């Protein structure tokens, strides 16, 4: 049996008719950018998350970039972010000329809340939490720290659609929750798309201005903004999928449950779930000291895997200028050498799941 790391095509065929009908409706409408699909999606997604406002954008990176810009965070400012995140989280900070200050993760792969306060300086303006792999971060502690030190809080929810901490959705704990709808995300579009959510009307209005060349009134430009508009086709298709997000998430939970129950190889460490946190399994990440041997073994069984992520941002060529070196963040660096994402996607069959479990147990 062949089991790929991901199967986006199955996510399309699951609701093929609805997607095709919506695509045709938009194509025939004659209106393609910032129209009623976008405003309807913004309303529906805000309501799903439990925020007052949602602003549709062109990507998750844009959401992060424009979020920090809207908060006035830039040159000379520091933002604390976990060291083991996807590099886009860090780029959202550095595109604004602000400085990322890396924090080691905890055993749940999220920012270690106990290590944040030591990193706060006179220049610290914000904390960016990333609910990595779909599991909510320790929001009680992090919110308290931000309040105490008067710091802005931003959430990177690119992997955590529908994930809650103590019953409250990720994205609603902070000044701005940033989402990506890249096709492989739990709520995926059929191309690039993103959004922010917020309870602050001024932030929502500023984000709408920033996404449209810094313009609130046509041809009157206040600041140098971006072209980061969510298009009607993606917004329409996202509305279709959002309608089914509950069942799509439940399906992932079932697969995660089967993996947690079925995988029992002592060489493999299973993901842990924090008390009070949901894991919506954007990725199901196992840990193995012989990770590279495991990848080869699984490849021989035609099972695809992905490493999220092999090079931590502080060691990436892009961030050489920050002057970090190997050994600066040992926990993060160890994760980069040992973590492995096994197949996890909607419409994965029970036979495929069992094949993966059996292969892992036989390793
Ligand atoms: C995917 C992702 C992003 C970037 O989203 P894009 O839509 O690809 O720009 C940012 N942060 C995290 C954690 C992600 O997984």
Residue 16 makes CB contacts below 8 A (sequence gap 6+) with none
Strand partners, 154: 128, 176
pLDDT of residue 298: 98
**Which of 159, 184, 211 to probe ligand 1 with, by most ligand atoms within 8 A of CB?**
159
Can you spell out the DSSP letters for 66-130? Answer: HHHHHTT--TT-EEEEETTS-HHHHHHHHTTT-EEEEE-B-TTSSB-GGGTGGG--TTEEEEEEE
Q: Which residue is closest in CA terms to ligand 1's atom 12?
A: 158
Maximum separation of any 2 CA atoms in the chain, in Å: 65
- Tens place of pLDDT per residue across the chain (363 aa): 999 999 999 999 999 999 999 999 999 999 999 999 999 999 999 999 999 999 999 999 999 999 999 999 999 999 999 999 999 999 999 999 999 999 999 999 999 999 999 999 999 999 999 999 999 999 999 999 999 999 999 999 999 999 999 999 999 999 999 999 999 999 999 999 999 999 999 999 999 999 999 999 999 999 999 999 999 999 999 999 999 999 999 999 999 999 999 999 999 999 999 999 999 999 999 999 999 999 999 999 999 999 999 999 999 999 999 999 999 999 999 999 999 999 999 999 999 999 999 999 999
pLDDT at 280: 98
Ligand 1 atom nearest to CA at 192: 7
Nearest ligand 1 atom to the CA of 185 is 1
Q: Whose CA is nearest to atom 5 of ligand 1?
A: 60
Measured from CB, residues less than 6 Å from any atom of ligand 1 are 59-61, 85-86, 88-89, 130, 156, 158-159, 180, 182, 192, 194
Cα(59) to centroid(ligand 1), Å: 8
Collapse the DSSP code of 215 into the 3-class scheme (helix H, G, I; strand E, B; otherwise coil) and give the result. strand
Answer left, alpha or beta for residue 347, where phi above 0 means left and psi between -120 and 50 means alpha.
left
pLDDT at 301: 98
Task: Say if residues 133 and 285 touch (Cβ distance below 8 Å).
Answer: yes
Residue 167 pLDDT:
97
In total, the chain counts a number of residues equal to 363
CA distance 145 to 254: 34
Q: Could you give the CA distance from residue 314 to residue 322 in angstroms, rounded to a whole number?
A: 8
Pairing of strands 339-342, 220-221: unpaired
Q: What 3-state DSSP class applies to 206?
A: helix
Distance, CA 158 to ligand 1 centroid (Å)?
5
Q: What contacts 154, CB < 8 A, 6 or more positions away? A: 64, 67, 68, 71, 79, 126, 127, 128, 129, 174, 175, 176, 177, 178
CA of 1 to the centre of ligand 1 (A): 31
Instruction: Compute the distance from residue 106 Cα to the ligand 1 centre, in Å.
Output: 21
Residue 301 has φ and ψ, to the nearest 5°, of -95, 10
The reported pLDDT for the residue numbered 122 is 98
Q: Residue 200 has what pLDDT?
A: 98
The three-point CA angle 325-330-332 to 5° equals 95
Q: How far is CA 329 from CA 164, 189, 340, in A?
A: 28, 34, 19
Among the atoms of ligand 1, which is closest to the Cα of residue 130? 13
Give distance in angstroms: CA of 358 to centre of ligand 1.
32
| Cα 88 to averaged position of ligand 1 atoms, centre (Å) | 6
């Amino acid at each position: 049996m062949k089991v790929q790391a991901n199967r986006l095509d199955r996510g399309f065929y699951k609701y093929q008719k609805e997607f095709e009908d919506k695509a045709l409706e938009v194509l025939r409408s004659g209106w393609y950018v910032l129209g009623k699909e976008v405003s309807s999606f913004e309303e529906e997604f805000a309501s799903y998350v439990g925020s007052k406002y949602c602003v549709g954008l062109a990507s998750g990176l844009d959401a992060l970039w424009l979020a920090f810009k809207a908060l006035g965070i830039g040159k000379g400012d520091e933002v604390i972010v976990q060291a083991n995140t996807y590099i886009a989280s860090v780029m959202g900070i550095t595109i604004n000329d602000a400085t990322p200050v890396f924090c080691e993760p905890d055993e749940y792969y999220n920012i270690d809340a106990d290590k944040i306060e030591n990193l706060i300086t006179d220049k610290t303006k914000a904390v960016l939490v990333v609910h990595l792999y779909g599991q909510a971060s320790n929001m009680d502690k992090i919110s308290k720290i931000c309040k105490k030190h008067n710091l802005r809080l931003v959430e990177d929810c690119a992997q955590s659609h529908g994930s809650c901490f103590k019953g409250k959705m990720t994205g609603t704990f902070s000044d701005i929750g940033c989402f990506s709808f890249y096709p492989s995300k739990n709520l995926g579009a059929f191309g690039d798309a993103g959004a922010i959510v917020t309870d602050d009307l001024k932030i929502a209005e500023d984000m709408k201005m920033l996404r449209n060349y810094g313009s609130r009134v046509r041809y009157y430009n206040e600041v140098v903004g971006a072209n980061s508009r969510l298009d009607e086709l993606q917004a329409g298709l996202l509305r279709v999928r959002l309608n089914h997000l509950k069942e799509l998430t439940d399906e992932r939970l079932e697969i995660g449950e089967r993996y947690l129950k079925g995988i029992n190889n002592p060489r493999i460490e299973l993901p842990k779930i924090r008390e009070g946190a949901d894991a919506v399994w954007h990725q199901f990440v196992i840990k193995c000291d012989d990770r590279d041997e495991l990848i080869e073994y699984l490849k021989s069984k035609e099972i695809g895997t992905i490493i999220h992520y092999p090079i931590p941002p502080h060691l990436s060529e892009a961030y050489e200028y920050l002057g970090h070196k190997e050994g600066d963040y040992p926990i993060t660096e160890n994760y980069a050498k040992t973590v492995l994402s096994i197949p996890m996607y909607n419409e994965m069959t029970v036979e495929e799941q069992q094949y993966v479990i059996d292969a892992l147990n036989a390793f």
